[in-house]
Structure 1
Amino acid sequence: MVLSVPQRGNIFLVVVVCLLAVGICAPFSGHDLQRVMQIAIGLCAVLYGLSVAPAVSLVDRPTALGLTLIIGLGLVSSALAHQPVWALIEVALFVSCAAITLAFALLRRHGGESLDRVLILIVVLLCLIKSIQYLYAGALAFTSGERTLDPDLLLSGFSNKRFYGQFQTFTLPLLALPLLMPTVSRVWRGGVLALLCVWWLIAISGGTRGTWLGMSAAGLVLAVLGPVGRRWLGWQLAAVLGGLVLYWLAFTLLAQYLGFETTKDAGDRLTTTLSGREAIWWQAWHMLVEHPWLGFGPMHFADIANEIAAHPHQAILQWASEWGVPSALCVAVLAWRAGWATWGLLRRRMLCAARVDLLRLCLFAALVAALVQSMVDGVIVMPNSQVWLALVVGWLMALHVWQAPATAALPPAWFAWRVLSVLAVGLLVGVALRDVPHIKHAQQAYLSGEGRHLQPRFWAQGVIAR
């Protein structure tokens, strides 16, 4: 039996949602499991891409040339790197993320507007599950008999609370969509607002300053866009206020009434310190100065061991120091072109209240927030964040309205991309089969040696220098 294109898309979407749910909602989840889930999603994306050929090009010619240049420079940099295999793995990861992006774009193009409702429903369900997990953990903490309350222990599914915060950076803007739609019932709107308040409660208690910074930047950008953007900001501010009230009720009023001492209070995170980032930023800067043209090689910040992290927590410095300044400039130009085109489309359709226009606005807010957070955090490194970044970009690509007529897809270019994506995902699958059976032993060996704590990059123990 031959499946139709929509049926293939439905299978791809169901599998991806299941993989995302396992990677995010499973209590035993963490960085390594999420990386395996990402590789599996990349494999599904490539298989879906092999079964669906676009009638028109998904990107314009400058974007295609820019991506070709980035991949080409990455391959040359990898060949000259100290550890070429790990460098190629990073290039393969970039290609895999591009394949996931294109798969989501194809999925939305063939599935139509009905998939927009499915996307928001998925976001709501994932956030609802995580909120229930958080509230259940809080109830257990208050009834455990312990007199110390640590909000960080209420977070589950991520190996670091900053990674949880990155997930919230992508989903907080999208949760506001039902609140913007005039056709949504009061009951549904009230339920979504309550969920958004709890989601902000978790963001506040988690104390991820990058999430606060990213959402603040997104709010400023959308406020400038027009009335719908200001409505989005109004709902977010209302939810922030609700989250602050819930935080005060739970971690101050109730905790004091029951005699609990709260550690790691969210107010303690309201500082301007860089939390050690200045040291790794300097390391990336020195790498950039020493090898400006091709960098040290993709992933090779992790080849120079330090006591803080295996990546510099700054997207521009990371790309320039590892891939080279020309590649970083190319990435920046492509990101600016795409962002400016989306900004112009949002401005032209700001007075429209159609679901697709409101979704485009929320996706753009998520993208802005994530890119701002990537200036101080590892958004472009963590596996779950990479998948969500690919989803947001891919959906925006599918929703984009081109001013010029779309050009037909070139069969040779599409064939070359298919070959490259198959090779990239094949390499990642091979690495997973090679490393996963020995991950725990490798982590224990690292911690019993010179390592003080795990430094995530590709795997949770991401220092390739050891």
Structure 2
Amino acid sequence: MAASIVLFVVGLAMAVMVPWQLHDLFYDPQRVAQWQLSGAFLLVTGLLLRRGVYAQLLVCWQGYRRIVSIAVAALIIAALVFSPMPGVALLEFSYLAMLLGLILVIAAAVPFLDKCGWRFLAAVCAVFILFYSAHSILYVSLVWDFGDRHDFGPGFDNVRFFADVAAGMMPLSLLYIVVRPRPSWLAALFLALPLSVWWWLLWVSESRAALLGLVFGSVVVLVLFGRAARLPVFTLALAGFCGLLGWWLLNPLVVEGAESPFLRDIASSSGRMALWSDALRYAWQQFPLGLGPMGFAADGQYRSAHAHNLLLNIAAEWGLPLALTLLGILVSISWVIRKRVQHLSEKEKPLYTCLVLAFISVMVNVQFAGAQIMPVSALVLVLVIGLAVGFRPGGALPQPSTLDIRPVRATLVWAILMLVFCYQVFAGAALHRLSDAPVSQCVTDGTRLSYYPRFWIQGRVDCMKDIEPDHWLFQRL
């Protein structure tokens, strides 16, 4: 079980590196890689740990949580039924259910990570950081004279997708220096070098959300953990300073004679304020169910297909009650993390510092981005949340639960999760086939209201309906 988390990170790294070498477009191959990795992980590890997954879900059925769970289930079903395109809406639901399943399985597997397991995990994260930094330097050197800011996230269609990954993987790589019998300053200096390259990529591409997440997370863990957080935070800060120095001295994007070293007005919201305002308006006007799953891409405006904010995106598409429920869950997780810190031994605190730093960093970043939607970004998000939630003081294996965990029901939950995943692959493949149809005449008609589903990089549903109006994905119930 412990090896499955290490293999998950290996697969995540391959999802970044392999499409870069084999394909001109990265988003769609990374979506396929996400399917393969998620399906294998849920099939094997999910089956082995189905009792642990079921136990976590069973907690939601205790006391007052039962009423909340029933209400949440009713709202989800209503949002799917009353969606303009239930088939497309169910695709979005199956995707989010897969992410939740991955979080639960990772959380159930974390207690099986012993000292050797944590060291293997730390080594894999550090090697990924090192390997990507080396390839990035090579790639940037080739496009130095004519590249743009998107070239500072090689392997991703958009540099912001790289920032989503960096927000989680950079803190996790710090495990490399804290899982040793004694703190290693030599390991810290060794890791700071490739981390400096990642910082440099973030600074040059002006990835403000990831930078904010890393800085804010570092401050919070220093307050929470005190002395135990000094070495990992110092390593990250040293690398950050070197990356900032590199941005100032080695920045091919700076225009000679420009008034500012920045490529844009970094004090602006980059259109996010308008997206957030619309998301709140949709949540209020369409209370309590919202626009419908994936509906932010179908509001008739040619723009981003999501609100660039996890909570506001849920509020706009699933309704304000479900967004507030998610906020409550995140607050509860944060409270549990704070309480857990008080029961940790001094030897465990440095390790947990890295996990909490990663958790805070990705959660800050996802309030300004759509990391839960992008394939590799979402994998990093669920990995970090699962590790932070699943970590237990003492490092002991899970003890038999006092809850009534019946093997048949646990197996049934796993089977349902696999069925939902199968629907995602089936419906997603159908949507991809339709999106490849010739739609040039439809796209050039600027008077039409467009709908760009975000599951794939290309495709407009309104054009697809012209070609196959009776397709089951587009039928109402």
TM range (shorter): 0.7 to 0.9
Measured at CA, do residues 264 and 388 of structure 1 come closer, stay the same or move farther in structure 2, by a change above 3 Å? farther
SS of equivalent residue, structure 1 residue 310 = coil
Measured at CA, do residues 419 and 86 of structure 1 come closer, stay the same or move farther in structure 2, by a change above 3 Å? same
Is the counterpart of residue 392 in structure 1 residue 390 in structure 2?
no
Which segments of 5 or more consecutive residues in structure 1 lack a partner in the other structure?
A: 1-5
Measured at CA, do residues 190 and 199 of structure 1 come closer, stay the same or move farther in structure 2, by a change above 3 Å? same
CA offsets per residue over residues 254-295 of structure 1, 9 Å max, x none? x99xxx969998633562211112222222122111122122
Q: Residue 323 of structure 2 corresponds to which residue in structure 1?
A: 328
Which segments of 5 or more consecutive residues in structure 2 lack a partner in the other structure?
A: 464-477
Q: Residue 418 of structure 1 corresponds to which residue in structure 2?
A: 414
Is the counterpart of residue 243 in structure 1 residue 243 in structure 2?
yes
CA offsets per residue over residues 82-140 of structure 1, 9 Å max, x none? 11111111111111112212222333334534322222222222222221121102322
Following superposition, the deviation at residue 69 of structure 1 comes to: 5.0
CA offsets per residue over residues 325-368 of structure 1, 9 Å max, x none? 2211211111111121012112332x6123xx423221211111
Alignment of 1:60-71 (within 5 A): 61-62=59-60, 65=66, 69-71=71-73
Which of 267, 282, 287 is the aligned partner of 1:287?
Answer: 282
Which of 173, 176, 191 is the aligned partner of 2:174?
Answer: 176
Residue type of the alignment partner of 1:379:
A
Residue type of the alignment partner of 1:173:
P
Alignment of 1:227-376 (within 5 A): 227-251=227-251, 267-269=262-264, 271-349=266-344, 352-354=346-348, 357-376=349-368
Q: How many pairs does the alignment contain? A: 447
Question: What TM-score do you get using the length of structure 2 for normalisation?
Answer: 0.82
Which of 21, 29, 35 is the aligned partner of 2:31?
Answer: 35
CA offsets per residue over residues 361-396 of structure 1, 9 Å max, x none? 212111111111222211222221221111112222
Residue type of the alignment partner of 1:99:
G
Q: Residue 192 of structure 1 corresponds to which residue in structure 2?
A: 191
Residue type of the alignment partner of 1:220:
V
Question: What TM-score do you get using the length of structure 1 for normalisation?
Answer: 0.84
Is the counterpart of residue 77 in structure 1 residue 79 in structure 2?
yes
Following superposition, the deviation at residue 60 of structure 1 comes to: 6.1
Contact 1:70–1:331 (Cα < 8 Å) also in 2: no
SS of equivalent residue, structure 1 residue 54 = helix
Contact 2:309–2:368 (Cα < 8 Å) also in 1: yes
**Cα distance between partner residues in 2 of 1:413 and 1:205:** 51
Q: Residue 454 of structure 2 corresponds to which residue in structure 1?
A: 457
SS of equivalent residue, structure 1 residue 157 = coil
Measured at CA, do residues 152 and 160 of structure 1 come closer, stay the same or move farther in structure 2, by a change above 3 Å? closer
What's the % identity of the aligned pairs? 23
Q: Residue 206 of structure 2 corresponds to which residue in structure 1?
A: 207
Q: Residue 95 of structure 1 corresponds to which residue in structure 2?
A: 97
Contact 2:177–2:188 (Cα < 8 Å) also in 1: yes
Q: Residue 51 of structure 2 corresponds to which residue in structure 1?
A: 54
Note the aligned Cα RMSD (angstroms). Answer: 3.4
Contact 1:210–1:377 (Cα < 8 Å) also in 2: yes
Q: Residue 26 of structure 1 corresponds to which residue in structure 2?
A: 19
SS of equivalent residue, structure 2 residue 60 = helix
Following superposition, the deviation at residue 439 of structure 1 comes to: 4.5
**Cα distance between partner residues in 2 of 1:264 and 1:235:** 33
Contact 2:103–2:385 (Cα < 8 Å) also in 1: yes
Measured at CA, do residues 264 and 299 of structure 1 come closer, stay the same or move farther in structure 2, by a change above 3 Å? farther
Moved more, 224-233 or 279-288: 224-233
**Cα distance between partner residues in 1 of 2:367 and 2:319:** 17
Measured at CA, do residues 19 and 152 of structure 1 come closer, stay the same or move farther in structure 2, by a change above 3 Å? closer
**Cα distance between partner residues in 1 of 2:343 and 2:257:** 49
**Cα distance between partner residues in 1 of 2:117 and 2:9:** 14
Measured at CA, do residues 15 and 283 of structure 1 come closer, stay the same or move farther in structure 2, by a change above 3 Å? closer
**Cα distance between partner residues in 1 of 2:280 and 2:291:** 12
SS of equivalent residue, structure 1 residue 322 = helix
Q: Residue 3 of structure 1 corresponds to which residue in structure 2?
A: none
SS of equivalent residue, structure 1 residue 348 = coil
Following superposition, the deviation at residue 249 of structure 1 comes to: 3.3
Contact 2:108–2:390 (Cα < 8 Å) also in 1: yes
Moved more, 414-423 or 379-388: 414-423
